[in-house]
Chains A and B, each alone.
Chain A
Amino acid sequence: MKDLPWPFLREPATKLCTAQCSIGTSAHHTTTMGSPTADPRETGPLAITVRDLWMSYPSQRQGELTHVLERVNLEVREGEFVCIVGPSGCGKTTLLNIIGGFLRASRGEVLVEGEPVDGPDRRRIFIFQEGGVFPWLTVRENIGFGLDRIPRSERDGVIQHYVEMIGLSGFERSYPRELSGGMRQRVEIARALAANPEILYMDEPFGALDYITRFKMRDDLVRIWEAERKTILFVTHDIDEAVQLAGRVLVMSRRPATIQEDVDIDLPRPRDLNSPAYLERREQIFAAMGMSPHGGFVRE
């Protein structure tokens, strides 16, 4: 295999962790405002469990280790939509790559569906920030990429279903370079969904899009999630995005990172971005990241 761009390291980090946080301890319960579905967080079986995860890799300077993650614990239940936010460079993507099986942690345990993760798995599809669609395939062919295990006769139906779901009817035979950035990203999401995974890992999937497209994409994603009810673990540095999308937001600290805060966003969708409840959640996350929603950092 070609070397993956992420270094593997088995040696555990030696430095002790100061910030520690496990899920639920700081969960902030607010009365629901008529949520359309029961929150699966309390009841559903566990989809993802991360226990005492450490990650470090050799730094640029010889012989030193960069500690990225320290003592990360989290749980995600089936059907949940969870966002991970944190300052840029804090290790969100590293964490997602470990959970997705593309990276191995220095220490700790990752269980998905109760089984330890030992590599990528077609039941959990990863969606990249950009460039994940294959430029040599048409929209149809991209969406059908993961469908080699279902009968040929059913394939066309599945592909057509997802083409329509992402609103690309009429573009089936187009190549990615003929599409806009937002359309390409929707193709990648459709490709992931068509493979009928149990979990979607999304690594800042809308990060490269313009503001308006991003807004639209969030709407689309919520609509799709409500229709399909996949478990989604979504990494972003955009707090508004997290609050708009997620049922729960995990806030990561600065490096070496851990889960610092676990915020329930028990608001009905589509969300009213000006409601006091929405703004309250938003403010809470800003505060957890040491920022003021009105601008500037809060001095400690």
Chain B
Amino acid sequence: MSMRQTVFLGSLGWVAAISLLHGIMNLGMLDRPSGRRRLGLDALPFRVGFIPVTCHLTCPVTNFINEKMTGDGIFVPIRFNGWPELKETFLANDLEATFILAPLAMSLREQGVPIKIVYLGHRDGTTMMVHKDSKIFRIEDLRGCKIAIPNRFSNQSLIIFKAFKERGMKMSEVTLLEMPPPDMPAALYARSVDAIISGEPFMAQSEMDGYGRVLFMTKDVWPDFISCVLAVSDRVIQTRRAVVQRLVDGIAKSGKWLDRDMAHRMQAADFSGKHYYHQDPKLLRFVLSKPPDRVKYTHLSLVRKDFEAIEQLGQEAAILKGTAYFDEYADPSFVPDETTIQPYDWEDALSRDQNTPRRSWRPPAELVLPCTVAAVVLLGWEGIVRLTRNDLFPGPWEVVLGIVELIRKGLLLKYIVASLFRVTWGFFLAILVGVPLGLFLGWFRPAYQAFNPLIQILRPISPIAWIPLAILWFGVSDAAPVFLIFLSSVFPITVSATAAVQNLQPVYLRAASNFELGRMRLFRRVILPATLPQILTGILIALGIAWLVVVAAEMIAVNSGLGYLIIDARNAGKRYDLVVAGMVVIGLIGLALDLVVRRLERFDEVSWGYGNR
């Protein structure tokens, strides 16, 4: 087959195949639409954003119990891994409602975003941890320390402010660092911060693993502390009142269900950890029981004085301006009567015998390492992990087990397909745009002079910097990562195509002009074939970059992909084996992609351009 046929058929077949697989494995294309979908507004999904923290536990509980009891989960829960992504998706109107930090919601309202707080999701549930060996035993000992907080608009920063104020301390006496909660335990372990504070279960992680010590819980400093609330956009309140009401009632019933019986809490730990949070149920069981009032799910009504306390503290701490009042940012009309609302009458029968994770299975010992270098690296890796007695960083065997676990759960193939799907589309779009654009800029000097500075400005911007805008523009669909991958690869392709035209041998152009080729023929028969080797080199480089960017691109709250696997494993607490497993798989696929695409260089149409006469 000629290069043209191979590339054309190969690309077409690949795009079709990977898109189909992604559709089936990750987008549920073949799933039959369930009977609950009716016509009208309710047929639209009602999406609720949450983060895998126990402050948001009523979200999965409501969804799960309703799904089990009636087959209708009321809403579609959308999981996020960090506050910025959740906020941006909410602002982009891609979420009808979301669990969100109370001061963050209030601040958004102050900035004119049309949202209202309709209910609470929990009370308490935040802990400040210090390293067990540190000399910090009282809040006063925090002077001069580094403290990790989830977000400047979090109530966690306000609780520090409140605790300090009551002790005559100033915020300027400590250094605050914003950090995604999943990363906090590792930071504390490495003692790169002195104290960490966030919603559970990330704090309890360090306690369970034996290097964290509780400095205080919210109930000690600010009883009935509110970290997160349920916020809904005004548009949704006006158009879909019934669903909002069902959601709020569901949260109230879930809260009562959780707080009625410790067995319920254990069941919630199991199904939420397994299906929603992707965290070890043991960790959630720990948080929900030790002590039982570490986090509470009753008294979720909106109480004016609670919010006015936040308002006042927020103003003193200079994170709120005080320009929005309770009546503006809160809508208590959905709040049900606390005394009459009944907990769900439901038990998770399956959870009791299914919760012990089986890790005894071992893969066949046929994973013979292909070369000594790899063996040496792996041995060195294992050796260092053992010598340093590092509990968090996994050795190679744990990573292999992690990969095996992913295969057994059927996740690995799904995630590979998802990542390849996004890279494929982003990368192919980049070729479709970059090659013609580059050729055009290379050929028309004025166009080059006009657009080259712009390209050179955009080119060095990391795709990570585009994440907020990508979410605002594309929401949490596959389009956002595709866009980021497109951005990362379109510039190398454009630049190499431009350079290829500019470096064109004049003798080819002269020969062509001697045969009086028209514009189209000149392009098709001389310019394109003459520049193809260099363009292909640019494309190969871009493919490497596209694959490199997949992790960053999937940090956005998509729910599949190898990048997601890594973020998800971070959220899961101490699952660094899966983080490294994801890294290894990404590396191996990168190698495979390079080997496959590099074969194109051997075609006669381009091989002349690579030096070896």
Interface residues of A (CB under 8 A from B): 2-5, 100, 102, 119-122, 124-126, 128, 131-132, 134-138, 145-146, 148, 175-177, 195
Contacts and interface: CB of A to CB of B under 8 A. Distances in A.
Nearest to A147: B515
Contact of A136 (B507, B514, B515, B608): B608
Given A136-B608, A175-B604, A177-B613, A125 B514 contact: yes
26 contacts: A2-B445, A2-B504, A3-B445, A100-B514, A121-B514, A122-B516, A124-B514, A125-B514, A126-B510, A126-B511, A128-B507, A128-B510, A128-B511, A131-B507, A132-B510, A134-B511, A134-B526, A134-B530, A136-B530, A136-B532, A136-B604, A136-B606, A137-B529, A175-B608, A176-B608, A195-B515
B170 interface: no
A4 B606 CA distance: 25
Contacts of B604: 136, 138, 175
Contacts of A120: 510, 513-514, 516
Interface string B570-613: 00000000000000000000000000000000001110110001
Instruction: Give the one of B443, B445, B506, B605 with max A CB within 10 A.
Output: B506
A145 B525 CA distance: 9
Contacts of A148: 521
Contact of A135 (B514, B515, B608): B608
B608 A126 contact: no
B506 A2 contact: yes
Contacts of B525: 145
Given A120-B514, A122-B515, A195-B515, A136 B506 contact: no
B381 interface: no
A163 to B, nearest CB: 18
Contacts of B508: 132, 134
A208 B547 CA distance: 46
Contacts of A146: 515
Q: Which among B515, B521, B530 has the highest number of chain A CB atoms within 10 Å?
A: B515
Mostly, the B contact residues are helix
B511, B513, B530, B532: most-surrounded residue (chain A CB, <10 A) = B511
B611 to A, nearest CB: 10
B505 interface: yes
Contacts, number: 63
B186 interface: no
A131 B514 contact: no
Chain B CB within 10 A, most for which of A100, A122, A124 = A122
A132 B608 contact: no
B500 to A, nearest CB: 13
Contacts of B529: 134, 136-137
A197 to B, nearest CB: 9
Contacts of A175: 604, 608
A177 B608 contact: yes
Nearest to B532: A136
B179 interface: no
Contact of B505 (A122, A124, A131): A131
Contacts of A195: 515
Contacts of A126: 510-511, 514
Contacts of A2: 443, 445, 504, 506, 509
A2 B604 CA distance: 27
Nearest to A136: B529
A2 B442 CA distance: 9
A122 B513 CA distance: 8
A195 B530 CA distance: 21
A132 B507 contact: yes
Contacts of B504: 2
B609 to A, nearest CB: 8
For B508, B514, B515, B526, the residue with the greatest tally of chain A CB atoms inside 10 Å of its CB is: B514
